[in-house]
Amino acid sequence: MTANLIGMARFSGKAALVSGGASGIGRATAQRLAAEGAHVFIADLNADLADQTVTQIHRSGGSAVFVYVDLADDSSVQSCAREVAETVPALHILVNNAALLRQGRIEDGGWIENWEIETRVGLRGWVMMTQHLLPLLKAEGGAIVNLSSEGGYLGRPGMWVYDAIKAGVVSTTKTMAQEFTQYGIRVNAVAPGWIVTEMHFASDPDPAARKKVLEETPIDSCLLQRRAGPEEVAGAIAFLLSDDASYITGTTLHVDGGRVGMNLGHLGILE
Ligand SMILES: NC(=O)c1ccc[n+]([C@@H]2O[C@H](COP(=O)([O-])OP(=O)(O)OC[C@H]3O[C@@H](n4cnc5c(N)ncnc54)[C@H](O)[C@@H]3O)[C@@H](O)[C@H]2O)c1
């Protein structure tokens, strides 16, 4: 992901924190921000994966460190923010990306056991993270991107908790944009569609084979008729974080190959 970025250093001298930066969209975003000059904190609970991401970034000539956080644990969130504050005087970029996907239909109650952990991470943890990092973000101003989903707009069978959380991310993004504008902080969300990440293939018995199938099989649920790679979302996140988006705040950018709000009738039944 460092190719074709020669001359682009939109984040030179900036400090960035990406939650869930060890995997998938978070990792691609951390790599992109580092490739464009940022010093990146990879905030994650998976230390092994996070260390791999840090190593990849260092090998590409970028700057990154791992900082442990469990977004489901208030005290962990607070100590993560403290650790960052001990290292840098200001944070310019925050990407609230970490989340969990669990399934369960309303009728059979299968969602109940996942409610607590999904909402703690997806609706509470990242807001608390933002709260505790706010003094650092206020120091010099900056930009925040929160990860929503097409699910927050569609509502899908078996996904009500996840999709309600992602709708909540959209409204909380608007709240944050209004509360933080006085500090020179822009806040936006990205709502990805079907992205090929560990979220969808890591638990398969053969993750590499499953990843290849997902990458190569056409879909009929969006205009572009394919799933995307995480770096395609990272590019949109980087745009919103950059000065190229200096007049954009409180909005949600759909990175879904043309799905939400589209008439897809000619493509047949949605997935
Ligand atoms: N992949 C998709 O199709 C898709 C679509 C729409 C939205 N999204 C959203 O994009 C974001 C990233 O998804 P992804 O597909 O890259 O996921 P992923 O599973 O590949 O990565 C998630 C990362 O979050 C970390 N994480 C999980 N729980 C955590 C916790 N309690 N504390 C700290 N870190 C934690 C994991 O260790 C992992 O590194 C999520 O918010 C997801 O809901 C993904």
pLDDT (tens digit, 9 = 90+) per residue, 89-124? 999 999 999 999 999 999 999 899 999 999 999 999
Please compute, for residue 128, the number of CA atoms within 13 A of its CA located in the half-sphere on the CB side. Answer: 21
Is it the case that residue 74 has pLDDT exceeding 50?
yes
pLDDT tens digits, one per residue of 144-172 = 999 999 999 999 999 999 999 999 999 99
pLDDT of residue 7: 57
Out of 17, 18, 19, 23, mutate this one to test ligand 1's pocket (max ligand atoms within 8 Å of CB): namely 23
Q: Which pLDDT band holds residue 265 (cuts at 50, 70, 90)?
A: confident
State the alpha helices, DSSP H only, in the chain: 24-35, 47-59, 74-87, 112-119, 126-140, 151-154, 160-180, 198-201, 207-216, 230-241
Distance 20 CA to ligand 1 centre (A): 6
Q: Is 183 a catalytic residue?
A: no
64, β-bridge pairs? 40
Contact at 8 Å (CB) between 170 and 148? yes
Distance of CA 91 to the CA centre of its chain: 17
Q: What is the pTM of this model?
A: 0.96
DSSP code of 80?
A: H
CATH 3.30.70.260, applies to 15-197+229-258: no
Neighbours of 200 (CB within 10 A): 17
pLDDT of residue 243: 98
Nearest C-alpha to atom 25 of ligand 1 is from which residue?
A: 20
pLDDT of residue 268: 62
